[in-house]
Amino acid sequence: MANPMVTIHNTETNEIIEREMTAQEFAAYNAEENAEIARVAAIAKATTDKTALLAKLGITADEAKLLLS
C-alpha cells in the first residue's frame, strides 16, 4: 500500500506540490493517530467507569457533586 499523500502549498509563489509521505513522516502520522485513538478510548473508559460507579452508588452526577463540595 502506498503512503498517504502530502500537499505542500507555497503561499509566496502559489506553487502546490503533492507527494507521498516519507517513511519518517508516515511513522509520525501513525504515532499521532494511535495516540489520538488511545486518548479517545481513555475518555470513553473514564466516562463508562464514572457512570457505572454512580449507578452502583444509586446517585446522580449532581448528587455526587454535592457530596464533593
As a whole number of angstroms, the distance between CA 7 and CA 17 comes to 6
Arithmetic mean of pLDDT, 2-20 = 93
How many residues in total does the chain contain? 69
The DSSP string of 30-56 is HHHHHHHHHHHHHHHHHHHHHHHHHHH
Predicted TM-score of the model (pTM): 0.67
Number of Cβ within a 10 Å radius of residue 25:
14
**Domain parsing of the chain, residue ranges:** 5-68
Number of Cβ within a 10 Å radius of residue 55:
10
Residue 3's pLDDT is what? 83
Indicate whether 1 pLDDT > 90: no
